[in-house]
Copies of this chain bind each other. A is one copy, B any other.
Amino acid sequence: MSDRIPVAVLGATGVVGQRLVAMLESHPWFELAELAGSDRSAGRSYGAVCRWQLETPLPERAGSLTVRRPEDGFSSRLVLSALDAASAERIEPGLAKAGHVVISNASAHRMAPDVPLLVPEINWDQLQLLAEQRHRWPGALVTNPNCVVAALGLVLAPLARNFGLESACITTLQSASGAGYPGVASLDLLGNVIPNIPNEADKIEAELPKIIGQGPRFSAMTTRVPVVDGHTALVFVRLGTETDEDGIVAAWRSFRGRPQELELPSAPRSPVIVMDESDRPQPRKDLLRGGGMSAIVSRPRRCPVHDWKFVVLGHNTLRGAAGAALLNAEALVVLNRAHERLRHA
């Protein structure tokens, strides 16, 4: 028997669920024990129902697991949720009430006052909100941000801490996998740009303050481009204090958080990777730097309107979804062990 912690994956057949399944295959702490999908999939083997999208093959053992209904309940205490927002709204609270620790990638509960919107390098403290959840349920519910917000947060937090951040205007060029499967029709995306993703700008403008802290104002425009994986964002920022290009680069390169201190398995060595080439980062060439868990950023350039402008790239299904959920799960395991140590001390 393995001594890895058993976990359940919810929404396992979707693009993010598939990433979770793939990443759990070789995770040092966790083991995929159960997976759940829609009523249509339930009762059949995961390999039979899943339209696998990744470039690495479907892990054999995962393919042989029987897909459950979320309503059937899970024996694993830890549940990773890759549900869509509407299903998450309906299903996740019930799991927390049943005592599960739910690590959710869905947007449904991100903005709830007692739910951490966790980017553990930035706001590890939000895990204290879990104490407030005790009024609602015996379990726990932790969320990670929207797929493009994760990388933006990692790049903007060091600016906010070192120089003060007054405002950021953000344009995103988001990839097809961010829309799930089947997602965007090829007739809409081949050789084209869709210049607005419904509700996406609202999520960016709402989630960033909960992650980085109140104060800065954010404005976003979002687009979909014919790229498979990887969200690019172009950012104009106004800072509170004067600095120079090297100062900003140094703030990014030196940025570390608790996941790096604790050497969590999914934590990248450098949360922010700065590229020196003027035409980088590019999704097809740079997405896997930092194992897909770092935000990749260009050097900043002076902006004639704001102070600075730069380019951010993040892996939307790794740092922006499945990897973020795994990192959050690892944070909770550490937290739990710390609690248990305290309790047994």
Binding site for B on A (CB under 8 A): 15, 52-57, 167-169, 171, 173, 176-177, 181-196, 198, 205, 217-219, 221, 223, 225-228, 232, 234, 236, 278-285, 287-289, 298, 303-306, 309, 311, 313
Contact = CB atoms under 8 A, between A and B. Distances in A.
A278 B196 contact: yes
B57 A289 contact: yes
A194 B225 contact: no
* Number of copies of this protein chain within its complex: 4
A245 to B, nearest CB: 15
Given A184-B185, A219-B303, 7 more contacts: A173-B223, A181-B187, A183-B185, A191-B227, A198-B279, A221-B311, A223-B232
Name which of A184, A188, A280, A283 has the most chain B CB atoms within 10 A of its CB: A188
A168 B305 contact: yes
Given A173-B173, A186-B176, A305-B169, A193 B225 contact: yes
Contact of A53 (B187, B194, B225, B278): B187
Nearest to A166: B305
A234 B195 contact: yes
Contact of A221 (B181, B189, B234): B234
